[in-house]
Amino acid sequence: MESQLDKTAAMTMQHTVMARPVSGAGNILTGTAAINSILYNSSLITIGSILCAWTINTLLVPHQFLSGGLAGVALIIHYLWPETSVGSLNFLLNIPVLMVGWFYVGRRFMLYSIFGMIVFSMAMEWVPATRPIQDPMLAALLCGAISGVGCSLILKSLGSAGGIDIISVILLKQASIRLGSTTLFANAAILVVSMFLFSMESILYTLVHIFVASRMIDLVITGMSKRKAVFIVSKQWQDIQQQIFKQLNRGVTIINGCGGYTGEEANLLYTVVTFGELSRLKSLVKKTDPNTFLVVSDTVEVMGHGIGNQPHW
């Protein structure tokens, strides 16, 4: 049925899109806009780095928990040789990753990532540890939640804090692998090696906070920006189409169809909206034609001007 729908859509699809003025020169940030953009992205990276550094100093180190990514490797070295500095180790380990990322990721992203790596390394040295949580499970859960938010803030910027973040972005661009999934599996690989060096309890608590962090990243980065694909079948499809144009400013694809039971010809409307626009779409459809047949589906990824949800990388 899916292949038949694709074939029918390819033969009969008519695409109607609202005109959107696009100016090449207008897309280049200059003056105040450029400064505001730099300040905004630098703030996201700085706040996210401070949150992640706080979890390391307050929750991970006191409980001898491990971590994933290059920061986790730095922690392992620090636990084995306590005289070493976690921040300095993180800085040194990131240098080859940044060099590889320079060839696969945009220059703007890499410049922000270099800034983020420096800020994160410095934060691990300078952010003081507050009163630690005694219960290890609560510490692991809190660490995952806060570090997940911190990583999400960094990834919502135009850069990263280096390490696994850069590898995650490369895989997202090249293979459409979700950011949280890359983080989870890369960190799990590091933990397998750590099993031969540390206690199983420490490994399991570490796995808990890594899992919570990966889910938080997916929620903030992907879940909050998901697009909804909507099929609409109505005899008043023209009115609904115009309402979508006027109220939502979204494009609509018209698909010529036929009712399987009645044999009557019918036009299907296909559109993609944001999660926040979905309730408005359903409201205007119901108001226009209460007998409308409407189907809403989740999307994994959307590309396109105005409606796309791909990150800036």
**CB-facing half-sphere around the CA of 153: CA atoms within 13 A:** 20
Whether 131 and 167 map to the same domain: the answer is: yes
Output the pLDDT for position 213: 87
| Confidence at residue 310, expressed as pLDDT on a 0 to 100 scale | 56
Residue 9 has pLDDT above 60, yes or no: no
Over residues 168-180, the pLDDT tens digits come to 878 887 777 876 6
- pLDDT beyond 90 at 46: yes
Crossing angle of the two packed helices 86-104 and 69-80, in degrees rounded to 10: 150
Give percent of the chain above pLDDT 70. 85
How many whole angstroms separate alpha carbon 8 and alpha carbon 27?
37
**Model pLDDT, residue 171:** 81
Residue 145 in any domain: the answer is yes
Q: Are residues 106 and 120 in the same domain?
A: yes
Please report, for residues 13, 108, 245, the alpha-carbon distance to residue 16 in angstroms, rounded to integers and kept in the order given. Answer: 10, 34, 10
Q: Pick from 177, 200, 224: which residue ends a domain?
A: 224
Is a pLDDT exceeding 60 seen at residue 26? no
pLDDT grade for 10, boundaries at 50, 70 and 90: very low
Is residue 106 scored above 90 in pLDDT? no
Q: What is the pLDDT of residue 17?
A: 40
**Would residue 312 count as lying in a domain?**
no
Where residue 272 sits, what CATH number does that domain have?
Answer: 3.30.70.120
45/188 same-domain check? yes
The tens digit of pLDDT for each residue in 267-309 reads: 899 999 887 788 899 999 999 999 999 999 887 777 766 665 5
Q: Same domain, yes or no, for 178 and 289?
A: no
84 and 152 share one domain:
yes
> Is 8 domain-assigned?
no
Q: What is the pLDDT of residues 235-251, one digit of tens each?
A: 899 999 999 998 888 88
Q: What local confidence, expressed as pLDDT, does residue 307 receive?
A: 63
Same domain, 162 and 264: no
User: Residue 241 has what pLDDT?
Assistant: 92
Give the per-residue pLDDT at 172.
80
- Decide if 5 is inside a domain: no
Mean pLDDT (whole number) for 15-41: 61
pLDDT at residue 194, rounded to an integer:
87
6, part of any domain = no
What tens digit of pLDDT does each residue of 196-223 get? 888 888 889 988 988 898 888 877 776 6
Task: Please report whether residue 24 resides in a domain.
Answer: no
Domain boundary among 224, 242, 271: 224
Residue 116 belongs to domain spanning = 31-224
pLDDT at 139: 92
For the residues 178-202, what does the mean pLDDT come to?
Answer: 81
65 and 202 belong to one structural domain: yes
The pLDDT mean for the chain works out to: 82
Is the domain of 95 the same as that of 40? yes
Q: Would you say residue 14 lies in a domain?
A: no
241 and 135 in one domain? no
Residue where a domain terminates, one of 224, 243, 271: 224
Residues 76 and 168 in one domain: yes
Residues 166 and 250 in one domain: no
Q: CA-based angle 257:263:266, to the nearest 5?
A: 30
Q: How confident is the model at residue 76 (pLDDT cuts 50, 70, 90)?
A: very high
Task: Provide the domain count of the chain.
Answer: 2
pLDDT of 118 over the 90 cut: yes
Pair 37, 92 in one domain: yes
The pLDDT assigned to 152 comes to 86
Amino acid (1-letter code) at residue 123: A
Nearest one of 297, 298, 243, 289 to 266, comparing CA atoms: 289
Note whether residue 13 is domain-resident: no
**Measured between alpha carbons, how far is 17 from 11 in angstroms, rounded to an integer?**
18
Most confident residue range from 21-25, 30-34, 47-51, 101-105 = 47-51
